[in-house]
Chains A and B, each alone.
Chain A
Amino acid sequence: MNYIVLVKQVPDVSKLIPPDAWDREKGTLRRGVLDNVLNPLDVQALTFACRMAETDERSRIACLTMGPPQAKEVLWDSLARGADEGVLLTDRAFAGADTIATSYTLAQGIRKIERDVFQGSRDYIIVTGMQSTDGDTAQVPPQIAEELGIEQVAYAQSFEFNHGLLRVTRIGPRGMETLVPDRFPILITTPVWSEPIYGSFHRARRARSTVLHEWDAKSLQVAADRIGLEGSRTQVYRIFSPSEMRDHECVFPKDMDELVELVEKKFRSQGAIAASAAEEAYCLDGKTPTRRGEVWVYIEQEEGVIQAVSLELLGEASKLAESLNQKVGAVLLGHGEEHLCDELIARGADKVYWADHPLLEDFLVSPHKKVVTELVLRHGPQVLLFGATPVGRELAPRVAYRTNSGLTADCTKLEIGDYLKGETRLVGILKQTRPALGGNIMATIMTRGSKCQMATVRPGVMRPRRADPARQGEIVWVKPDLREEDLHLKIASMKPLASRKSLADAEIIVSGGKGLGSRANFDDYVEPLAAALRRLLNARAEVGASRLAVEDGFRDHGHQVGQTGQTVQPKLYVAVGISGAVQHISGMQHSDTIVAINKDPNARIFSYAHFGVSQDFQAAVPALIEAVERRIACKKQPRAMLATSKS
């Protein structure tokens, strides 16, 4: 077996970005101020490939990158860590590529590696990181798989070779799945699954004398209209600093009840990003829109329950469709869940495209992609929204690639608008805003050259509509043509995953600092506050800690937030007894709502917090918990009263 590992040179945005890295006037990062590094998840992928290659000493690992000549550095780095060959795709014509054009170019590179380096052998596995820290879209790997017509195993955690049979275990939407491919090549993407492999000095020396393959557009035999800017289907409309959206002073509420009310209101009214978007709805005003067609949402359902993100997207789609005088379509796939169609209509769908087939029962990307692609090609919606969930991030890139549509990942804001510049007149198009470079900049993207505008949208950002059982809608029955033999990836076993505790995807984080003084105080104050907020807001709450609190042994390093710990951006971040050292701030400053509790009114944390309590935590935290409990109780009461009055 041979391996191809995709590697990318990215600016190092994992840690604190120095203040001089920002060009405040242009709203961009200055080149050369940040280090260029090998994308950290690509190191994970390389580690995966090296571990697989260790099982067979004939295997070779080729690493592939696209970029300017200096991208050789990441090939040398990869060679020092364990790769055998380095391939650089470099040509001015490749510049300016979005994910579709990048995926196509890299796929051509893979085909050439197969021909020239692996002598035509198709026994190889492509391994990539889930995403890069700069683009952060996670679209390129699935789109390469789509171009090559192969299967993808996303979120791979481990592998096993048994008598030549490969089994890959991955985190699936419903638990740990063991997948068995029945043909090669396949593409595996890895999240952080292991400790990253180190580079060796002696390998690094050999790498410098290894001849790298350098291929340009001509030698790759690429179609000129599918590469670079020309081949791209998305275009950056505007880049700006997220700080433009977070001009706030810390508010010190008069009592704990007011604080709880404010926090809950802000928590429920979406993130800070969407909350600021109280703009007037777009109106066509008799103008002729550039695109026609319905506004669609791909519905995620799990065992007969519609996922919250899909309801949020239906709410958002209703607003968009209204601006465009169009209908909202919901695309629902599954087996035996047609009862969900009514709920979708009640939540804003005008039409439900319902595809029922036994092969759609589990989520496997190939059959789902096939059905959605055919629907898009037949009905021609102008917008298709997916949740930026594991399912959406796997499916959307493939549908977009197959239908040659522009796709923007991980949006936090959508709006309809016009783009009038010179000769170009685009009316009623979808402007898609998303964070990039690890949340350090915001980019507004628009789709170009494709009929359908696709986006994945962060869960928890948009607002669902209230269910209206009286709403009328149409159900379109779809008869998918799917055959068992078209599946080249089988789920061999599945075991449900106990909810994994991770700070990164918690919606609420309550963190304690050195000011807490002891581990016992962490148990007595921080944990109960997290539990109370979890109950009030009905969201996943975790406990974090500052570096000093970790060093003092209050919590282990897995809880550490900050420059040397994890970078988090939950919807609600509560900092207890944390002064706000820069190291800590850099790890949590992008949280939607920040509440600070600190007895020192001059603590730096208050310059970043939305709400502050300047009291000792031993007084403030119990009072806050009591206020949360009061609020939970009073929310239960009115409903109970309503019920009695009805009877």
Chain B
Amino acid sequence: MQKTTARDARDIKVLIVGAGPAGLACAIRLKRKLNAASRDDPVVVIDKAAKLGYHNLSGAVFETACLDELVPGWREEESSILKQMTRIERDELYYLTTRRAIRFPSFLVPEPMRHKGDYSVSVSRLVAWLGAIAEKEGVEVYPGFAASSLLMDSGQVRGVKLADLGLKPDGKPKTNFSAGETIFAPVTVLSDGSRGVLSRQFTETFSNAGNPQVYSIGVKQVVQLPHGNAFGDDRAVHTLGFPLKSDVFGGGFLYSMGNDLVAVGLILGLDWKYKDLNPQGELEILKSHPFIASLLDGGRVLSTGVKTIPEGGLYSLPQLFHNGAVLIGDAAGFVNMEKIKGLHNAVRSGIAAADAVFEAVLGDDFSKRTLQQYSRNLAANHVLKEMRRARNFRQVFRWGVYLGAPLSRVQRSIPFKMKIEKDFACTRRDFELNRSYDAGMMDKATFTSLSGTIHREDEPSHIRIKEPGLCRKCIDQFGVPPCVHLCPGQVYRLKDGEILLSPSNCMHDGSCAVKCPHQNISWNVPEGGEGPRYRQM
């Protein structure tokens, strides 16, 4: 029996799925325009995280100019996020050999890779701040609700269905079972991030992208340094080389976060060949490098996290709109790998979508014909221009760093679309790293724990092995399957010739599904409010 209260909530006009920088930017921009036009159409944002920011992770060095467009005067606000940002004054790029660090002279660092004057920021905090602004504008923001499927009929997106709640591991209902609610809206904005479940459903249904999307995995820690540390509070350090082989795309970073905190992380292209590559372990090896170790001396790891980064670029962008839906942020893939930045494009894509949706609301027409204005807005506000400039950047690194790095300088002049292989197809069974880890290095269990991830233990696994026979085949091929090495959460374990799952360790990065050699992993959302708890990632 569902009792009703005196005032029933009004029908939703715009539903935004995913409260990240893109989704919240879209909500803020749209609500402001609606308010200015004296319209009170309900704009609703939902997110699967328990609180705003908990599922948001980035490096992050941030080009803040996009916020001037979104929230004019934001720098002067009393509770401005600027107070939680750190301006980068010292920007350093190093090449690491096994023992040494060689600094690139500044003049050799390509312009897009320069970060001086940008700000380092915790995107978890940025999101919490954007959420507060959105609510102040009158946006309804509901964290803790996980959308598990897109409602579609006759070529039209109608809304979403939330995950079922209160199921036992065998799928039978418990006493508190509650069937997933449906939420209808004339237009749904998909901002559910990299590997987002709904945006993938959308793309699989409507898209015919040129290149497949390819990804990197980023593993990150926030380290508390002693007061008066040598690292300083205005510095961004990027590294190439150690511990990565030249045929692995990626690099390390260390950013000042203020209050003696440093973000340290490693980004690795998931197109690596090595069957036993363990990104969490690689980060530990990076941290053991004499130069990095000296920068982090006396530090204590406070929190950890992991995410995938869609880095295929322009040629991997899927269909961005359809009847009743638009795709923004990482869900679309607006990361500029040349700059190693995506936040500013996420915000700008949210703005571009909001402007198109606003016109759709005014005209009460949510067809793709109206929503295609979104594409034009993206072209106008530099997102696509920037993406075009970096269009073949990622592709050239398929040939390794030594060839890729010089080619990346001229990739803009490559007149055609360079093809790219899916990440999983790159793994080779005869490529092995055979790493050993020192006793002092952080293990996966601790890494998982510090992400704060939490799931109800007795719920059905949100990770499904499609065909167990394929896992056995994978074991025959690789010995230990790549998922076991890859997953920082130890979600996958090999025991007696079978893959065992620990879904409650999952940090929702989705890299396992990207890299599975047989594409045998299906990742759906668990109950709302679960997963990692990033407070300062």
Contact = CB atoms under 8 A, between A and B. Distances in A.
Contacts of A552: 495, 500
B181 A583 contact: no
Given A204-B142, A552-B495, A560-B457, A47 B176 contact: yes
Interface in B208-237: 224
B176 A209 contact: no
Interface stretch (A15-23, A256-264, A265-273, A631-639): A15-23
Contacts of B455: 564
Contact of B144 (A20, A199, A202): A199
B175 interface: yes
A602 B439 contact: yes
Contacts of B4: 206
B140 to A, nearest CB: 6
Nearest to A56: B1
Contacts of B140: 205, 208
B474 interface: no
A206 B504 contact: no
Contacts of B178: 198, 200
Given A551-B502, A552-B500, A209 B175 contact: no
Contacts of A53: 3
Contact of B46 (A201, A547, A586): A201
B500 A581 contact: no
B449 A16 contact: yes
A557 interface: yes
A473 interface: no
B6 interface: yes
Contacts of A415: none
B502 A547 contact: yes
Interface stretch (A189-197, A355-363, A367-375, A613-621): A189-197
Contacts of B176: 47, 194-198
A548 B448 CA distance: 14
A210 B448 CA distance: 39
Given A57-B1, A209-B9, A565-B457, A198 B162 contact: no
Nearest to A585: B449
Contact of B449 (A82, A548, A551, A582): A582
A214 interface: no
A447 B66 CA distance: 58
Nearest to B51: A35
A18 B533 CA distance: 11
Contacts of B142: 201, 204-205
Interface string B153-176: 000000000100110000000111
Nearest to A77: B144
A645 B3 CA distance: 79
A550 B169 CA distance: 14
A376 to B, nearest CB: 43
Contacts of A342: none
A54 interface: yes
B183 interface: yes
A206 B3 contact: no
Given A199-B144, A557-B457, A582-B449, A210 B500 contact: no
Contacts, number: 99
A201 B12 CA distance: 12
A178 interface: no
A564 B7 contact: no
B144 A195 contact: no
Contacts of A551: 500, 502
A552 B9 CA distance: 46
Nearest to B444: A581
A86 to B, nearest CB: 10
Interface string B439-468: 100010110111010110110000000000
B449 A206 contact: no
Interface residues of A, number: 45
B302 interface: yes
B3 A564 contact: no
Interface in B464-517: 495, 500, 502, 504
A33 B302 CA distance: 12
Contacts of A19: 300, 302
B457 A564 contact: yes
Given A54-B1, A209-B7, A201 B145 contact: yes
A582 B533 CA distance: 16
Given A35-B51, A198-B176, A581-B445, A84 B3 contact: yes
Interface in A554-592: 557, 560, 563-565, 581-583, 586
Interface in A1-35: 15-16, 18-20, 33, 35
Nearest to A583: B449
Nearest to B222: A20
B175 A195 contact: yes
B8 interface: yes
Nearest to B176: A195
B9 A205 contact: yes
Nearest to B500: A551
Contacts of B181: 200-202
B5 interface: yes
Contacts of A207: 5
Residue among A19, A84, A195, A196 with most chain B CB within 10 A: A195
Contact of A581 (B6, B44, B446): B446
Nearest to B175: A195
Nearest to A208: B140
Contact of A563 (B9, B449, B533): B449
Given A18-B452, A194-B175, A552-B495, A210 B6 contact: yes
B148 interface: no
A550 B501 CA distance: 12
Contacts of A20: 224, 302
A33 B536 CA distance: 11
Interface string A525-554: 000000000000000000000011011100
A19 B224 CA distance: 10
Interface string B1-42: 101111111000000000000000000000000000000000
Contacts of A84: 3, 5
A637 to B, nearest CB: 46
Contacts of B395: none
B418 interface: no
Given A18-B303, A198-B176, A205 B502 contact: no
Nearest to B173: A195
Contacts of B426: none
A202 B9 contact: yes
Interface in A204-222: 204-210
B50 interface: yes
Contacts of B500: 551-552
**4 closest Cβ pairs, A-B complex:** A195-B176, A205-B9, A581-B445, A582-B449
27 contacts: A15-B454, A16-B452, A20-B302, A195-B166, A195-B175, A198-B178, A200-B181, A201-B46, A201-B145, A201-B162, A202-B9, A204-B142, A205-B9, A205-B140, A206-B4, A206-B7, A550-B457, A551-B500, A552-B500, A557-B458, A581-B443, A581-B449, A582-B445, A582-B446, A583-B445, A583-B449, A602-B439
Interface of A: 15-16, 18-20, 33, 35, 47, 53-54, 57, 79, 82, 84, 194-202, 204-210, 547-548, 550-552, 557, 560, 563-565, 581-583, 586, 602
Given A54-B1, A82-B3, 7 more contacts: A18-B302, A18-B303, A204-B142, A205-B44, A207-B5, A552-B500, A581-B449
